[in-house]
Amino acid sequence: MNKIIIENLSLQYSDGTESLKGISMEIRQNAVTVLFGPAGGGKSTLLRCLNRLNDLTEVRSNSGRILIDGEDILDPKTDVIALRRKVGMVFARPVTLPMSIRENITYGLELAGEKRRAKLNEAVERSLKLAAIWDEVKDRLNEPAIALSGGQQQRVCLARVLALQPEIILLDEPTSGLDPISTGKVEAALYELKKNFTVILVPHSVQQAARTADHAAFFLQGELIEYGDGKKMFTAPKQKKTEDYIMGRFG
C-alpha cells in the first residue's frame, strides 16, 4: 500500500541551488525505502520536505504535492507540529538534547501533553527496547544522555522518535558516525521497525543501501534517475548512471 505519494516536487534554496527537480514517486507502507546517490543529490532535502523541516531554512520556491494518507502536507494549512509527530526523524549526527536519557525519550511526549507517569515510563521502556538499547541503559536512565557513546546516543535518538509512535520514520545517514557494530545494531533495529512503520532511509554507503533496501531510489543532482525494487536495483540496474554509481565509477 502506498503511504506517501510525491507529485512533481521541486525545491530551490535561497542561494539559488536547485535541490529537487520534478520528483514523483510513491513510497510503500511497512517497507524500507532507501534514497541513495552522491552528495548534493537532494536526498536530505526530500527527507526534510516530508516533515516540513525545510520551513525553517531559507527556501526560495517549493512546488508540487506530497500526499501522506491522501493529505497534502505542503498545504499551508497543515498542522506542522502534528505532522512532525507523525513523521519522526533521526539525524546524521546523534542529537541528544541536553537532558537525561529518560527525559530525552519523554520530551516529545511531554510536548504533546502526556503527563501520566505510568504512560511515560511505559513509553521509555518500549521505545528503548525497540531501538535495541534498553539493556545498555536501563540502569542509568537518569544520567545525562551526552555521556553515552556515539552509537548509543544514536539509538537513544531513534528511541526518542519511536516514543512518539510515529507512522513514518525518516533516517538521514543515521550510521555515518558509527562503528560497524553499532551500525549493525541500528540496521537490525530497522528490520524490526518496518513491520510497524514506514521507514525512509538515506544510507551512508551503497553497501548499506544494498543491505537494507526493500525499495531503492537513485538521486543525482536533484533528479530521480531510477526507482524500483531494492534487490533488482543493486544487481541489475536499468539505467547506466545507476550502474556506474553502484559500481563505484563516480560519486
Binding-site ranges for another protein (CB under 8 A): 51, 53, 56, 81-82, 84-85, 88-89, 91, 93, 95, 97-99, 107-108, 111-112, 146, 157, 160-161, 164
Q: How far is the CB of 89 from another protein (least distance, A)?
A: 4
Gap between the Cα atoms of 226 and 175, Å rounded: 24
Residue 187, C-alpha cell as written in the block: 540496521
Among residues 57 and 207, whose Cβ is nearest to another protein?
57
Q: How far is the CB of 95 from another protein (least distance, A)?
A: 4
Among residues 20 and 163, whose Cβ is nearest to another protein?
163
Among residues 177 and 184, whose Cβ is nearest to another protein?
177
Q: How far is the CB of 73 from another protein (least distance, A)?
A: 14
Q: How far is the CB of 54 from another protein (least distance, A)?
A: 11
With helix as H, strand as E and coil as C, how does 27-70 read?
A: EECCCEEEEECCCCCCHHHHHHHHCCHHHHCCEEEEEEEEEECC
Among residues 108 and 237, whose Cβ is nearest to another protein?
108
Residue 93, C-alpha cell as written in the block: 549526527
Among residues 166 and 222, whose Cβ is nearest to another protein?
166
Cα-to-chain-centroid distance, residue 168: 8
Q: How far is the CB of 210 from another protein (least distance, A)?
A: 27
Please state whether beta strands 59-68 and 18-28 pair in parallel, antiparallel, or not at all (unpaired).
unpaired
Q: Specify whether the CB–CB gap between 22 and 45 falls below 8 A.
A: no
User: CA 144, 147, 153, 157: dihedral to nearest 10 degrees?
Assistant: 20
